Structures are given as C-alpha cells and as structure tokens.
Structure 1
Amino acid sequence: MFPLVQRCCFLTPFKLQKLTGPRLLLYGRNQTCWPSLSLPLQRGVCALSRSPSLSPAAVHASKLQAFHTSPAFFKKKTPRESEPKDSSFLQLKDSPKPALYLSLAGLTPFVSVPLAMAIQGTYYPELAFAQVTYGAVTVSFLGGMRWGFALPADSPAKPDWLNLGNSTVPPLLACQALLFKDITPGAIMLVMALGIALHYDVSLLPTYPRWFKVLRVLGTVVMALSLLATVTLKTYSEMQLRNDSNKQQNTKQ
C-alpha cells in the first residue's frame, strides 16, 4: 500500500521505488551511499524525507562539530577594560572654588583651639566653650541645609515629614550640647550630631554631587577629631591638677 501511495502522489517509477527501498534500508544499517539511485528519490519524495536530526549524516556532522569545538571554559576570555578608579580626594578638584575655600576656612576655629592649647600646654575653658558654641552653630547650619535642598519645586527630595523632620534633629542636639555645664558631654553630643547629619547627606540623599559628599566627609572628620582633641586636653589637664594637688598634700604631711 505504501509504495502505491508514493507512486500516485510523487510520480516516481515503481521500479525505482522497489530498488531504492532496500537500498535505503541498507543505507540505514550498513551506512552505504547510493547517490545515483537516491538522487531522483530525493527530488520526488521531499515531504517524506528523514529529519536532519535522525539522519546518520547529520549525526556524524554533529559529532565532528562537537569534536572540533572547544568547550566554553577553554575559550580565551578577553580581559575587561579596567575602569578608571579615581581617588575620593581627587573629586575635590571638581568642587566650586567658593564652596571649597569657605568649607576649609570654616574648619579653622575647630582646629585652632586644640592646637593653641597643645602648643601652650594649658587648657583654656573659654576657648573650649567657644569651640563648642561654634560647633553647635555649624551643626544647626548643616541641619537647615536640608530644608533648602527639599523646598525647591524641581528638587529630587520632597518636602515631606522625613526630610524636613530629620533636618531638625541636628539643631536640637546642638541646643542640648550648649545646656551642659561641662564641656565633655557637650562635645560628645556635637560629635553625635555631626555623624547624624553626615548620614543624612551621604546615605539618605544620593542626589548630592560627588564632590559635596567628599567635602562633607572630610569636614565631619576634622570637626569630630578637633572636638575630641579638646576633650582629651581637658581630661589631661584635670589629671595634672589632681596630681599636683596630691603632691602638695603629701609635702605638707
């Protein structure tokens, strides 16, 4: 029945079908090739030809291709182009000159107070209180700066409770630092306020320029170290006064 269907549909001679039938079986078993007889069959019987995935020639071709193709992990990988990594302090060159110079000049009162006391070897409570007062003003300025950033209409920061409410935290801590009678807790409170303000500017507002973030980190580190240096000099001077008083009491006895 099958040879009759092939003869009627594809108009191939019956003798040729009888001859090519066994030849095709031999081709599948013994892998022998009959190009002279299989060529007319391929022209006439296109729809009933084998799929490339099942033909032995396709299998051998895929094996040869797999043999001559190297695995993916043996292929030479091109090294990625090294991205230019600029130092963070080099970003200060991109900052506007007024912002850079005014920020560095604003650090002078912080640095000059512990430096002057360390050179003279004497602790001055008036200078320490002046430093804490100036630090409270600076922290209040850093907190209010967020209001100025969030209020414009085209600003990426919205004037919501988070932005406007967080900007009031540093001024409140600065006011609390001025209420302490002792300089030590006031200076420590200012260091905490400076850290909170830096966290707001660097982490919570990523739209600030890169140079401004670097400038904020540098300024916060200098101010915090200056306040801690003043506290250290105060503690050292108090220890010296205690030692001197103890020596005087021992000499009187």
Structure 2
Amino acid sequence: MFPLIQRCCFNTPLKLQKLTGPSLLLYGKNETTWSSLASCLRRDAHPLSTALSLKPASVYTTKLQTFHTSLPAFKKKTPAEPEAESQKSLESLKDSPKPALYLSLGGLIPFVAVPLAMAVQGAFHPELASAQVAYGAVTASFLGGMRWGFALPENSPAKPDWLNLANGTVPALLACQALLFKDVTQGAVMVMLALGIALHYDISLLPTYPRWFKVLRVVGTMVMVLSLLATVALKAFLEGEQSDDRKIRQSTN
C-alpha cells in the first residue's frame, strides 16, 4: 500500500522506489533502517511537493499579469467626431486663394438660377433646362481637362501617365454624350454622372489636389448635382400641370 501511495502522491524518483522494496522487508527487524529511509523520503519529497504547489500559482500569476497588461488593447479608440471633421474641412476653405474661391462660387450661379427661375414662374422652360445641361457638360469637360494641366508640370505629384491623362478625358466624353440626348432628363443624368466621376478621380483615385481645392470641389459638385435634380423634378411636376391645364382648356372649348 505504501509504494502505491508514494507513486501517486509524491511521484518519487525511481531510485527511491527501489529503496522502499527491500526496506519494507526489514520492517520490524531493523528500526534504524526504517527511520533513515523515512527521513530520506521526507527530504526528497519536500522539494518536490513545494515545486508542485508553486507551479500552478506561478502559471496563474503569469496569466493574470498577461491579462492585466493586455487590458489596454481592448480599449476602443474614440473615433473622430464627424462634426469636427466637417468643421475642419470648411475652415480649410479659408486657405483657398480668393480668385479661385470667388470664381468657383460665381460659376455655380447658372446652375442655381435655372431651377429657381422656373420655380418662381411656375412654368417649365425647355430652353433654360437645355442651357443648364449644356453648361454642365462644359463644366464637366473643364474639370476633366484640368487633370492634364495638373499632371504636365515637371514638379507635379501627378505623372502624365495613362491613368491621369485617360481619366481626364472620360468626363469630356460623357459630357459630349449628354449633348446628344434630345430629352433634357437623360442629358441631365449623363452630366451628373460625368460630374460624379470627375469628383471621384480628384478626391480618391488619382493624386490629390490641395485640401482646400478638394473641399471646394465637393461643395461645387453637390450644388451642381442638386440643381440638375431640381430641374428634372420641376420638369416632371410642371409639365404634368401644364398638360392638365391644356386638357381643361380643350374640354371647355
């Protein structure tokens, strides 16, 4: 029984297990041999039991220290507030040169004036809508060709490669297609597509312009697209009312 307890609990070395066999045979005959063997077992088993008892504690301590040191990794970084970002973007317009700012804002007047005039008069004018689409096609061609002027100088961050120069011609091609449509709505949609692609090139795809110019491009494109959408909506709404009025007049006559 004692060898079994010794192997399970203390896991004594093989040398001690060999000593216990003959020593048990001498039990009762030589008490001094048994006492010396017991003291030997206590001396050999004490460090072993101490190591066994300290091993789990050291493992748990290491795990706790690792968990404690890894706690900052779980802290979420506070994202930048969108209001602060938008405020910084609007403040960057102050860095823009005055001629560029005033000319860009002045170029938006024809876009805004057309739907505003039709809304005030309460009537849809196809010639004004066609002029707005033509002006939008010219503006999209200008924004596309501006990439050529940005990429050609030697010290420019944009290289005159296929990506820059070919993408600079895409808005002009879409603008030309917009002028071929007889329907104002189709032409306005094509112009909006050209303006959106030009903005995408300038903001995210190709080498970027200065920050103030990018903000100016976003604001200008939003105003142009919203003006074209307003013209399309007024066309659908006012033309429906005009057709109803014509039917009423024909019925009364």
CA distance in 2, matches of 1:107, 1:115: 13
- Closer, same or farther: CA 57–239 of 1 in aligned 2, 3 Å: same
- Within a 5 Å distance, the mapping from 1:32-43 to structure 2 comes to none
Paired positions, count: 209
Structure 2 residue matching 1:152: 3-state secondary structure: coil
State the Cα distance separating 1:65 from its structure 2 match.
2.7
- Closer, same or farther: CA 68–169 of 1 in aligned 2, 3 Å: closer
Are the equivalent residues in 1 in contact too, given 2:92–2:215 (CA < 8 A)?
Answer: no
- Using the size of structure 1 for normalisation, the TM-score is 0.69
State the Cα distance separating 1:118 from its structure 2 match.
0.6
Partner AA of 2:45 in structure 1:
N
Residue by residue over 1:127-147, the C-alpha shift from the partner in whole angstroms, topping out at 9 and shown as x without a partner, is: 223222221221111101111
CA distance in 1, matches of 2:79, 2:39: 62
State the Cα distance separating 1:61 from its structure 2 match.
4.2
- Closer, same or farther: CA 118–26 of 1 in aligned 2, 3 Å: same
State the Cα distance separating 1:72 from its structure 2 match.
4.1
- The residue that corresponds to 1:77 in the other structure is 71
State the Cα distance separating 1:28 from its structure 2 match.
6.5
- Within a 5 Å distance, the mapping from 1:99-114 to structure 2 comes to 99-114=100-115
- The residue that corresponds to 2:122 in the other structure is 121
Structure with more helix by fraction: 2
- The residue that corresponds to 1:87 in the other structure is 85
- The residue that corresponds to 1:43 in the other structure is none
- The residue that corresponds to 1:162 in the other structure is 163
- The residue that corresponds to 1:218 in the other structure is 219
- The residue that corresponds to 2:45 in the other structure is 30
- Closer, same or farther: CA 207–23 of 1 in aligned 2, 3 Å: farther
Partner AA of 1:145 in structure 2:
M
Identical-pair percentage: 57
Partner AA of 1:30 in structure 2:
A
Are the equivalent residues in 2 in contact too, given 1:89–1:214 (CA < 8 A)?
Answer: no
- What do you get for the CA RMSD once the two structures are aligned? 3.0
Are the equivalent residues in 2 in contact too, given 1:150–1:159 (CA < 8 A)?
Answer: yes
- Closer, same or farther: CA 119–61 of 1 in aligned 2, 3 Å: same
State the Cα distance separating 1:154 from its structure 2 match.
3.0
- Using the size of structure 2 for normalisation, the TM-score is 0.69
CA distance in 2, matches of 1:188, 1:83: 36
Partner AA of 1:111 in structure 2:
V
Partner AA of 2:125 in structure 1:
Y
- The residue that corresponds to 2:5 in the other structure is none
Partner AA of 1:88 in structure 2:
S
Are the equivalent residues in 1 in contact too, given 2:157–2:207 (CA < 8 A)?
Answer: no
CA distance in 2, matches of 1:163, 1:68: 60
Residue by residue over 1:25-63, the C-alpha shift from the partner in whole angstroms, topping out at 9 and shown as x without a partner, is: 64674216xxxxxxxxxxxxxxxxxxxxxx765554443
- Within a 5 Å distance, the mapping from 1:167-178 to structure 2 comes to 167-178=168-179
2:57 to 64, 67, 70: 64
Partner AA of 1:120 in structure 2:
Q
Partner AA of 2:90 in structure 1:
L
Partner AA of 1:153 in structure 2:
E
CA distance in 1, matches of 2:216, 2:123: 32
Partner AA of 2:233 in structure 1:
T
1:189 partnered with 2:190 = yes
